Structure 1
Amino acid sequence: MHRLIAALYLLCASAAYAGAQKYEPLAASAQAALHKAVSDSRPPGSSFRNPIDAADWLGEMSRRLEKRIPNREYRIDLLRSVHYEATRAGLDPQLVLGLMQVESGFRKYAVSSAGARGYMQVMPFWLKLLGRPEDSLFDLRTNLRYGCTILRHYLDIEKGDLYRALGRYNGSLGKPEYPNMVRAAWQNQWAYDKPTRPAETGR
């Protein structure tokens, strides 16, 4: 199984595997909750626990992303936004990076054959469904906000089953290829262990 996952990872490393979320009618309560989630303004501040954690994570993820996004300022802004939106939605930021790698290859203006757009390949029907037709899915933070909110929604529907939630996100529910590729990218490319630091000792 590990060899299969590694092989799938190599296949997706250089090519996006974008799909398309399927339109499903939403209950009024779910629609209202999702509308609120994508409408909240981004508050000032950081999603990191402290400046040291921020520096460690951003430095490591920036190094890994440098070949795909050479502009350091934009790369750091993207990573800060990923961490913020993923954390806000209760998702692992490294999982979101793995999904972005598979869905768009980190191409801001990627458009799939089904019309999914941006880094996280969000389908345009979500704009109308959530009552925000003026939103641009090519805007960095808007795309991440929608993508993370939608994945959280699917996780909730599937009671935390990541395999099925990823299948819903890609429009390939029940097929193993996409969830396995996202997991492989997550584990092989973006897995992160917080550095351990010696405990400070007083004098």
Structure 2
Amino acid sequence: MKVILFGASGTVGQGVLHECLLDARVESVLAVVRNPLGVHHPKLREVVHQDFADFSSLAADFEDADACFFCLGISSLGRREEEYRRVTYDYTLAAARALPDNPGLTFVYVSGAGTDSTERGRSMWARVKGRTENELRAMPFHAYMFRPGYIQSSHGGVSKTPAYRWMYAAISWLYPLLRRVIPHHVTTTESVARAMIAVAGQQGAGEPVLDSAEINRVARNGH
């Protein structure tokens, strides 16, 4: 499996990259980044690209991809809808539209618990995520929407968002308790990554929208 990875420098993306490089099912990873990751591995190739609203110049790099794992995102805290939509919706759709015309390709999008598929709710971030999901599901590839709740970093990944770093520092030690008390609402970057790799091999089978419980189940069972 040849994977394109967006958001490899973020907490989730770091975990996904780690698992992809370990997994024998993944032949290669193409990480699209603004700045070099500083990671070296025979399976990894980086493409440094600055304009995340237009990936058309990377069409040749994307040609033989089997899957795209889109982990790029920002917090909606303190952001206007226009700014949040540019990263959450515009960048995601720009990547999806630059992919090869291959109906067998799988696109996995990291969305979030509470996403509003109706696009009419009061929560700005949930509407924008919902619109992004709806557009992806209408595109000519196999699309899976991951809607995790709390995600625990499995391999020491650190968020670039200060608010998220503070939050994880404050509650990450509670993860073993959260896993016992609310197991259906928590997952790990390792489980997210393993579930992504698993659904990429399903060729559109299974549920197209996965919450934390379903992500954990697929990660355990491989389907």
**TM-score of the aligned structures, taking structure 1 as reference length:** 0.27
From the CA coordinates, give the structure whose radius of gyration is larger: 1
Name the TM-score, length of structure 2 as normaliser.
0.25
Higher RCO (Cα < 8 Å, 6 or more apart):
1
Name the structure where strand makes up a greater proportion of residues. 2
